[in-house]
Structure 1
Amino acid sequence: MSAQESDAPSMPSGRPHTGRARNEQVRQAILASTVALLAEPGKGGITIEAVARQAKVGKQTIYRWWPTKSALLIEAFTGEARNSVPDIDTGDVACDLEHFLMRTFNAVRTPVVSGALRALIAGALADEDSAEVLRGYAAERRDALTAILTRARQRREIAADADLRLAAEQTMGYIWYRLILADTPLIDFTSDALAAALLRQLGHR
C-alpha cells in the first residue's frame, strides 16, 4: 500500500442518509402545529411566528416550503383531511361512501378539527386569507367525494346522467350545516342515513 493510500481518510460504509427523513419530520411538525394553533380559542388569526414557536423552528424554515401563510394553512388542512379520511376503493360504492362519510364525521367531531374549522369560518368573514384557506379545504373535500362517485359511475353502479358535483356539494353542505348550526352532534347513524339517501338520489343499482 502506498503512503498516499494509507494517508487517505477512510469513508464510512453503509451509513444511512437521514437528512431527508429529518426534513420530513420537521415539515410534518410544522403542519401539525398549524392545525393545533388554529384549534385553540382565540387563535383564529395565527401568524408564521406563532407556528415557528410551536414547531420549534425558524421562520425561514417555514418559508422554505410555503411562500405564504395561506399556502401553509391550506396544506395543513387538506393534509389533515386526507390522513383522517383516506380514499379507499373497495369496488363497491356503498362501502366506499359509507367509509368516507363515517371517517369524515369522526374527524369533524374531534376538538382539534372542529375548533380549527370554526376558527377559519369566523375569520373568513373578515379576512380574505382565511376565506382562501376555507375555499381550498372545502374544494379538496368535495373533489375527494366526487372521485368516489366518478368511480361508481364508471363501474355503472349509479346512473350515467347523475349530477355528481351537485351530489357532492349537497353532501358537504349538510356536513357544514351540522358543524356550524345544528344543535345535535354528528353521529355514525347519521352518516349511514346520509350515504343511503345519496345513493338513492344517484340511482344506485
Structure 2
Amino acid sequence: MSGYTKVDRLDDEKHAKLLLRMKRTKSNRFNYSKRLARKATVKSLSVNFLSLLCIFASIYLLASPPDAAGAVGVYVSILVTTASVVSLMLSVENPVSELMKRSQQAHQCARDISGLYGKFQAGAIEYKDARNDYESILNAYDDNHDECDNWKTLFENAKDFPGDADGIGWIRGWVLYLISCYSPAIYTIVCVIAILLTWRIPPLIKGYFF
C-alpha cells in the first residue's frame, strides 16, 4: 500500500467514473431500444384495431337499409370517420418502421458500449483510448435516449448512482416508462371513449331537457 500514490488514486477514480458512465449509457440505450420496440408493436396493434373497427362499422352501414339505420347510421359514420383519422395520425406520426429502425440503432449502440465496457473493465484497453472510443460510439449514432430511459436506469441501479438516483421513485422510474411504451394504445382508447361519449351524450341531453 506504501507504493499507492495520489496519482494512482486519481487514475482509479477516473477509471471508475468512466466505467459508471459507460454502464449508465448502455443501460439507457438498452431501455430506449426496448421502449421503442414495444411502442412500435403497440402502435401496430392499435392501427390494426382501428382498421378492424372501420371495417365492421362499414359492413354494418352496408348491411343496414338506409331508412332503418336512422340516427345510429349517423353515429356509425362518425365512428368510421374518426377512427380513420386517428389511424392515419398514428401511422404518420413516428411510423412503426421508423420506430423499429431507431430501436435497432439504439440496441447496436448499447452493444458497442457494452463491448467497450467489458474490455476497459478487464484492463485490455487504456483509459484514454477507452474514453475516445466511448465518445466515438456516441457520435456514430444521431438518436439519443429520453429522460424516462435514464430515470429507469437510475431507479433499477440506485446503488450504483446514489446521488443521481435520489428522488427517482417508481412513478418516474417505471410508470412514465410504461406510459410511453403504451401511449399509442392509450391514445386509441381515449379516442374510442370520446367517440362513444359522442354517441351516447346527445340522446341523453335531448331526453333530459326536451
Higher helix share: 2
Compare CA radii of gyration and give the structure with the larger one: 2
Same fold (TM over 0.5): no
Q: Which has the higher contact order (CA 8 A, sep 6+)?
A: 2
